[in-house]
Structure 1
Amino acid sequence: MAKSDGELVVAAIDFGTTYSGWAFSFKHDFERDPCKVSAKTWTGHQLTTLKGPTCVLIKPDGKTLDTFGYDAETQYSQLSQSGEHKKWYYFQKFKMMLWNKPIHKDMMLDDESGKSLPAITVFSLSIRFMIDDLTSMSNQQVSGLNLEDIYWVLTVPAIWNDSAKQFMRLAAQEAGIPCEKLSIALEPEAASIYC
């Protein structure tokens, strides 16, 4: 795993099969208290949790993220009630589509209604949502932060092969994370280091 040197923040994205979340820690906070971590609080369906549903709603152009998580579920439900959902792309629990399959950068994913988009687009838009959401919250604590100030850790399942890990690395890069500012960590390793 690469070491972060000049960054002010270390951020982690847990892109889960069913639920996803993110957290970050400022280096100066970590030096004083390694357990001081800021994380997103997701709200939806009368719940407040540290993770939100791994579902994404993409606009009819197939290139623009509309919403992610509980907001995507709610928006897609509203679109369905009015019959407009057929134009939109709604993906949920799509991460494990990368497991146990030949993976290539041109692979396609089918959404809930059978429409296809490039998998790299679906994953990179989802990661981009996490990046934007996290940087918005971190800028509330310290203004003026940009991507160069953040070192990113993206977790993946231990059972994933190298091509699936490489795919996630490409999706993260397409989402805007520079390769030198990114580590891919196996989920159990990340958990054991924190615990």
Structure 2
Amino acid sequence: MGRIILVTGGARSGKSRFAEQLAADLGGRIAYIATARALDAEMADRIARHRQQRPAAWPTFEAPLSAAAVVAAEGGRCDGFLLDCLTVLITNRILAREADWDNPPMHRLAEIEADVLVEIEALIAAAAGQPVPLIAVTNEVGFGIVPLSPLARFFRDCAGRANQRLAAAADEVHLVVSGIPVCIKGGRSGPCVP
């Protein structure tokens, strides 16, 4: 049965670098699941920097909407998975659905969140059926102020609930703060050493 390791933290906290260190310890062939799309110059630059910091030998699977499908298909051909990042996957799934974000009806928001959680459950099930671990990176988006816009509030709430579900299923959860990883579930508590 596959293990799930969740790495969370704020933007630019060092969570991706820590997750890459954990993945490198699994072996030489890590299936890197990328969820970002280069829709503008800033995102293209972020994607390029992420590519430069990880080993070139890791095959990359572009999965902006369904990381679970990659995990289900590739488990026997790699030493582990690194999904970076769950928050972008959630964003992609939210924005793939039509909604009036200035005045969204509650039933529509419930449908969109249900779609996100279906992917989270599929990811958990796919990981459970693999002989190798899944390391998933996500953003902790609940530490800040309450966002002004309905879309931003919905994203924060939906991502928070998705993170809670994945954390509940995970064997280990690490919180990265200012480049320092702290183990908050599984393993030992306190600073983590990859």
For normalisation by structure 2, the TM-score amounts to: 0.34
Indicate the structure whose relative CO is greater, using CA pairs within 8 Å and at least 6 residues apart: 2
Whose strand fraction is larger, Structure 1's or Structure 2's?
1
More helix by share: 2
